[in-house]
Structure 1
Amino acid sequence: MNFRKIQWIFVIAFIFLDLFLLTTYLRQSDAITLMTDKSDANTTTAILRNIKSDRIQYGHVSDEHSKGYYVSAPVDNSLRHETDKLHNQTTSFEDNILQATFTTPIKVGQTQQAARKKLASLLADSSMILHGDKYAYNAHLSSKDVMVYTQKFYDRPVLFKGGQIRFNIHDGYVDSYSQGYIAKYNTLREEQVTLSQERALIWLYQYKKITSDSTVLWSQLGYSRLLKANGNRIYIPTWTFAVKNNVSGVVQYRRVNAFTGAIFNGDDNNITK
């Protein structure tokens, strides 16, 4: 047997050896990934079981992930220069939030359906509401006494009073409202993946932000204010949970940074109050 034939035999042998080792590695890697995924699933199932055993009711929660942005918006005071367009109301400002009281209260009816229909026509009238077409009704934030309309960033509601209109309703009449307006905004970074609703609930539970004997009334992924810097407000995707204590009846609003899982401390009055 000559040297060249021996060379080829070794080359072919090394190729088969490499293929064997590669196949073995890939199988082990797939097995490790499967075990990790199974372990994570088991851990999630165990935590959800603990939540239920603590008499915390939450309904269905999704394990699907969404995407979002860091958003920057300059502090806007353009409404101050447009109030002369408004009729049948007196206005003032508090922290760039327009506070308006109707000279003659407007009848909207006793039902939410009737009120929404009337408010839709009100929002379409620029002599009554400024930039009303920029807001959409938010059922989660609304009640029989306050109906809330929010602006949106990339199809997600702004869960901060700086991007909301809140109509105050008494006995079938809207007598006043507050309005925050974000005229311009832009993204600071590329789109990023957000936590799932399920994972956000688990974070709240593990950080003891949901107590036993509670009910999660609703949860929503939207944009909340993170900080204010250099004349701009920075907003991030946030999971907001409305949690009712079944003993006291008190409802608190818990927020989770949908990028990092960090918990916002305190009960944020900027959400609905």
Structure 2
Amino acid sequence: MDWSKIKTIFIITFLILDVYLLYQFMKIRDANKYEVISEASFEEKLKADEITYKDFPKDPIKAQYLSAKPKVFTQVDTDKLKGKSEDIRGTGTTTLHVTLEKPIKITAKFEPAELSTFINDNVLFGEDYQYGEKSDKDQSITYFQTAENVPLFKNINGMITFKIGDKNQIVSYDQTYLVEMEKLTAKEEILAPLKAIETLHQKGMLKSKSNITKIELGYSTLIQLAASQVLAPTWRFEVDGKESLFVNAFEGQIIQFNSDEKSKVE
């Protein structure tokens, strides 16, 4: 056996392997470098357009698809509210309508704390909702149901809508509630907030001198069926303290809501 030849073959083989590994390392380094440059470039675009934003998590975030079903309210549910309200309707349906015996006075500049005690003490599953939005046009205040400790954005099957009557008083509310929350997939890394902002910017959804005042992760309805729905992780960006923009945190699509469903913009 010619050990000299074998030794030479091993040396050549290891040299080839080293060259290959170096090539792969350079590719990864260049890809990472390009990604950093691209990110920095987009941040420069935002700066040029005078678009500012709040700090957001820098570390990767993981989430998953969920499924849920609308709850059908029963007599047992409505019995829990008797004595606290003058009119309760909705037994056997997915929407509970409650008229308050004593309207609740709120201030002109409403703060969520004004209703927190009432919701926790008087509303079914009140601890599972958080403040969503106030509409002066509709004279209403909406609270979103939560899942995985984050809100379900504008989900008609998981919200409380308080009706504001005369003299800035809450006179009634409608409630829906999602049950049987199940995890459909394993957790996966979602779109970084800056990438979602880039999508909004590319689609012309962010005007010059806009200020993104709040960045929040939640869920929105991806698929709506008669008896159930699929929920997808969603980024919410509050702009100038009033307008909200939504981006699917897996697919990167912009979500636009109307009264009873959502549509997507590529």
TM-score (norm 2): 0.79
Amino acid at match of 1:158: L
**CA RMSD in angstroms, aligned pairs only:** 3.2
Structure 2 residue aligned with 1:123, among 106, 119, 135?
A: 119
Describe how 1:207-226 pairs up with structure 2 within 5 A: 207-226=203-222
Distance 2:212 2:75 in 1: 38
1:159 has 2:153 as partner: yes
Distance 1:79 1:197 in 2: 41
Q: Give the SS at the match of 1:60.
A: coil
| Paired positions, count | 253
Is the contact between residue 85 and residue 98 of structure 2 (CA under 8 Å) also seen in structure 1? no
Is the contact between residue 63 and residue 199 of structure 1 (CA under 8 Å) also seen in structure 2? no
With over 3 angstroms needed to count, the CA separation of the structure-2 counterparts of 1:79 and 1:123, relative to structure 1, is farther
In the other structure, the counterpart of 1:31 is 26
TM-score (norm 1): 0.77
Query: Unpaired segments of 5 or more residues in structure 2?
Result: 262-266
Give the drift of 1:200: 0.8
Give the drift of 1:205: 0.8
Distance 2:142 2:13 in 1: 64
Structure 1 residue aligned with 2:102, among 97, 101, 104?
A: 104
Structure 1 residue aligned with 2:233, among 219, 222, 237?
A: 237
Query: Unpaired segments of 5 or more residues in structure 1?
Result: none
With over 3 angstroms needed to count, the CA separation of the structure-2 counterparts of 1:257 and 1:103, relative to structure 1, is same
Distance 1:253 1:149 in 2: 15
In the other structure, the counterpart of 2:264 is none
Describe how 1:1-273 pairs up with structure 2 within 5 A: 4=1, 6=2, 8-78=3-73, 82-86=77-81, 87-92=84-89, 96-107=94-105, 116=113, 119-125=115-121, 128-135=122-129, 137-138=130-131, 141=133, 149-161=143-155, 162-167=157-162, 173-229=169-225, 231-244=227-240, 251-264=242-255, 266-268=256-258
With over 3 angstroms needed to count, the CA separation of the structure-2 counterparts of 1:158 and 1:90, relative to structure 1, is same
Give the drift of 1:235: 0.6
Distance 1:19 1:83 in 2: 76
Give the drift of 1:57: 2.5
Distance 1:270 1:230 in 2: 13
Question: Percent of counterpart pairs with the same letter?
Answer: 25
Give the drift of 1:166: 4.2
Is the contact between residue 64 and residue 197 of structure 1 (CA under 8 Å) also seen in structure 2? no
Is the contact between residue 57 and residue 214 of structure 1 (CA under 8 Å) also seen in structure 2? yes
Is the contact between residue 254 and residue 267 of structure 1 (CA under 8 Å) also seen in structure 2? no
Is the contact between residue 79 and residue 181 of structure 1 (CA under 8 Å) also seen in structure 2? no
Cα deviations by residue, 1:229-248 (Å, 9 ceiling, x for unpaired): 2521111000112224xxxx
Is the contact between residue 54 and residue 215 of structure 2 (CA under 8 Å) also seen in structure 1? no
